Every structure is written in structure tokens, then in C-alpha cells.
């Protein structure tokens, strides 16, 4: 995958972290740069780690499923994207303004960081299926991590200023981006698109 595709995937994946970051900012009485950076490091770190793990798991099986790898990548991205869109229409349950939601302690950040990066694990598997040329997994994972870090920091700040108004739009946008990239992978493999 090329740089533009990786950036688009990173933006799509970062939207779950953005939504949770908005909730964190909403719950904070005063948003501090230090707290926003901690949220960004947790989410960015896990978003960088998970695709690398997924890539190494997926590359073990890539030789066995080479004839179908583009369909698997498409299916994974379609499922992840559709799930993000579906979740964006569901009622908020975990975006409450209590002290626990505002905490950036390791205990408070570990589960949200894992939960928002599970999709990145599946994308790493998809990346192993289609990544013959282009950026290596190290560069791709770093880009995903840095973008998620920045988006998460922004989410905390936006949550502190505007509340959760943008959360659902971000999740929908992320889902649509992942679905479009999945469709592009299949169309390229079928020879309909040539990039």
C-alpha cells in the first residue's frame, strides 16, 4: 500500500479513538495538555502496535490464501467499516461526565486503548494480504500511531470545548473511509482500477 492509502486507513482507524477522546474531554473539568498527550500516547501506541501484530499473524497465512487475499482484505475492511457506521447510530452509553471517565490513569486507559485498537489488528492482517509493494509495516504502523496520537489529542480538546456533537460523525466518516479502501483493493485486483 502506498502512503496515501496508509494515511487514509490511519484516519479511518483513528476515529474510534477520537470518539472516546471526545468523551474523555467532555468528562474533564479542565482539559490539560498533559492529559490530552497521555490519552494520545495510549491510543496512538496501541493503534501502532496492533497492525504490526496483525501483519505478522496475517503474513504467516498469506502464502496459503494468496488467491483470495484481496477478498479477505476487502471483507475485513467492510466489516470493520460497517460496524463503525452502525455503532455511530447507537445511543451513547459510555460517554458520561463522571470522575472515572475523566481519568487518564493506566487503569482507566488500558481497556479503552485495547478496545479502540482491535480494528487495527484486523487491518494489520488485511495489510499482510495486499502489501507486496509500498510501505513496510514499520512505517505504516508508525504513521497509524502518529495520526491516532494527534487525532486523540484533538478529540480531548474538542470534547472539552464542544462536547460530543462530532463523535458520531467521526465514527461514520472512519467507517466509510475503510469501506472505500476495501472496495479499491478489490477493484485494483480485478484490473478495473490501476494506480
Which pLDDT score, from 0 to 100, does residue 176 have?
84
**Which of 68-77, 95-104, 116-125, 131-140 is the most confident on average?**
116-125
The dihedral region occupied by 8, where left means phi > 0, alpha psi between -120 and 50, and beta the remainder, is: alpha
Task: Please tell me which residue, 158 or 23, carries the higher pLDDT value.
Answer: 158
Task: Please tell me which residue, 74 or 141, carries the higher pLDDT value.
Answer: 141
18 has a pLDDT exceeding 70 = yes
Which pLDDT score, from 0 to 100, does residue 151 have?
95
What's the DSSP call for residue 91?
P
**Which of 7-16, 115-124, 183-192 is the most confident on average?**
7-16
Which pLDDT score, from 0 to 100, does residue 29 have?
77
Closest CA to 19 of 175, 149, 166: 166
Provide the whole-model pTM: 0.75
* Grid cell for residue 173: 466518516
Rg of the chain (C-alpha set):
17
Maximum Cα interatomic distance, the chain, rounded to a whole number of Å: 54
pLDDT digits (tens, 9 = 90+) for 133-186: 567 889 999 999 999 999 999 999 988 887 556 667 777 787 788 788 778 878
Torsion of CA 83, 173, 88, 86, to 10 degrees: -30
Please count the CA atoms within 13 angstroms of the CA of 194 that sit on its side-chain side.
1
Average pLDDT, the chain: 82
Task: Please tell me which residue, 11 or 132, carries the higher pLDDT value.
Answer: 11
Q: Report H helices in the chain.
A: 3-27, 33-61, 69-88, 99-102, 106-130, 137-162, 167-189
The residues spanned by each domain of the chain are 3-189
Amino acid at each position: 500500500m502506498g502512503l496515501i492509502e496508509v494515511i487514509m486507513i490511519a484516519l479511518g482507524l483513528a476515529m474510534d479513538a477520537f470518539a472516546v477522546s471526545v468523551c474523555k474531554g467532555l468528562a474533564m473539568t479542565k482539559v490539560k495538555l498533559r492529559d490530552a498527550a497521555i490519552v494520545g500516547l495510549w491510543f496512538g501506541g496501541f493503534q501502532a502496535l496492533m497492525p504490526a501484530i496483525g501483519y505478522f499473524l496475517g503474513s504467516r497465512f498469506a502464502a496459503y490464501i494468496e488467491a483470495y487475499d484481496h477478498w479477505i482484505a476487502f471483507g475485513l475492511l467492510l466489516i470493520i467499516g460497517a460496524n463503525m457506521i452502525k455503532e455511530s447510530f447507537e445511543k451513547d452509553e459510555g460517554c458520561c461526565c463522571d470522575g472515572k471517565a475523566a481519568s487518564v490513569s493506566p487503569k482507566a486507559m488500558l481497556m479503552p486503548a485495547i478496545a479502540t485498537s482491535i480494528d487495527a489488528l484486523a487491518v494489520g492482517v488485511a495489510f499482510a494480504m495486499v502489501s507486496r509493494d509500498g510501505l513496510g509495516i514499520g512505517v505504516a504502523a508508525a504513521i497509524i500511531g502518529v495520526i491516532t496520537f494527534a487525532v486523540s489529542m484533538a478529540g480531548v480538546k474538542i470534547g472539552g470545548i464542544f462536547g460530543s456533537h462530532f463523535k458520531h460523525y467521526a465514527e461514520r466518516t472512519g467507517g466509510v473511509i475503510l469501506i472505500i479502501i476495501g472496495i479499491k483493493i478489490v477493484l485494483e485486483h480485478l484490473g478495473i482500477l490501476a494506480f
